[in-house]
Amino acid sequence: MSAGYLPEVRRGRALYDRVLRRRDPKLRVPVSFAREHLEAYQDFLLAAARGQQSQTPLPACTAGDKKLLLTWHFPELNSWLAQAPLLNITALVPRQIDWMEEITGPGVFLNYRKDRWGLALARAFHRGRRIFSTFDYCSAELQHIVSDFLGFPARTITGLLELAERSDYEVHFLTQRDGAAEVTETLHPASDGIEECAKRLNRAVENEILATPPRWLVWPVADHRWIEAGEDLAQSQPLTAADPARGAGRA
């Protein structure tokens, strides 16, 4: 494991400590956290190296069209991404690096920090393709509301949920337990409502993180979602305009 990741581990440990102290001032980060988090990151890279050889089949209920499949950043995530071209899945990512296409081949990923990605995503929804994305990270430029996450008011993605609502998609939250993929939440934004879906998805992510904290790969940037005291919340409102391209462009 590269020593270059050690500062990230220290930052992640400090943020986990903030979460614990907010829950109970007596709680402390276990001394094993750094080692276990490094091992989780190593497993993440190994899953990328194995590619399609390390697949964990997705549950049968996620098959078919008009499914939005959401998950969190856990070590075996890359074994799921490897299945994307086999299952007619479009995967939404914040950045794209060479080894990702080595796993899946071209044409699978949409990078939401590139121009015109929103139009491509809207078309994927219109065609009924299965969409795959993580739900545990939300940068400030994405369409979001503010909802509690790990004890802090946090930006929570809504653009994807709004596109799912308009396209009558079913939403599944997926995780991996004991080597098998499992659906822990099934939602219908058209009937459940965007804010309710966002809250339930945040709880689903929290449950996975707090069950095995070192396995969450996003600890080093967990605070990027948190809204600090005095921050302008004007942009943190649900999308109301009936412009599908605008909704996609800020999913």
Q: Which is it for strands 152-157 and 89-93: parallel, antiparallel or unpaired?
A: unpaired
- Please check the confidence at residue 251 and state whether its pLDDT lies above 80: no
Q: Is the pLDDT of residue 238 over 50?
A: no
Q: How confident is the model at residue 99 (pLDDT cuts 50, 70, 90)?
A: low
Give pLDDT tens digits for 159-176. Answer: 999 999 999 999 999 998
Say which residues have a Cβ less than 8 Å from residue 216's Cβ, sequence separation at least 6: 40, 72, 73, 74, 136, 208, 209
List, for residues 199-215, the tens digit of each pLDDT value: 999 999 999 999 999 99
Q: Which residue has the higher pLDDT, 91 or 203?
A: 203
% pLDDT > 90, the chain: 52
pLDDT of 230 reads 45
Average pLDDT over residues 231-236: 43
pLDDT of residue 49: 72
pLDDT of 104 over the 50 cut: yes
Q: Is the dihedral of CA 176, 97, 114, 65 positive or negative?
A: negative
| Phi, psi dihedrals of residue 56, rounded to the nearest 5° | -115, 110
User: Is residue 188 a contact partner of residue 171, using CB atoms and an 8 Å limit?
Assistant: yes
- Residue 243: pLDDT over 60: no
Mean pLDDT of the chain: 82
pTM of the model as a whole = 0.85
**Res. 76: pLDDT tops 50:** yes
Please, which pLDDT band fits residue 235 given cuts at 50, 70 and 90?
Answer: very low
Residues facing residue 175 across a β-bridge: 182
Pick the more confident residue, 113 or 201.
201
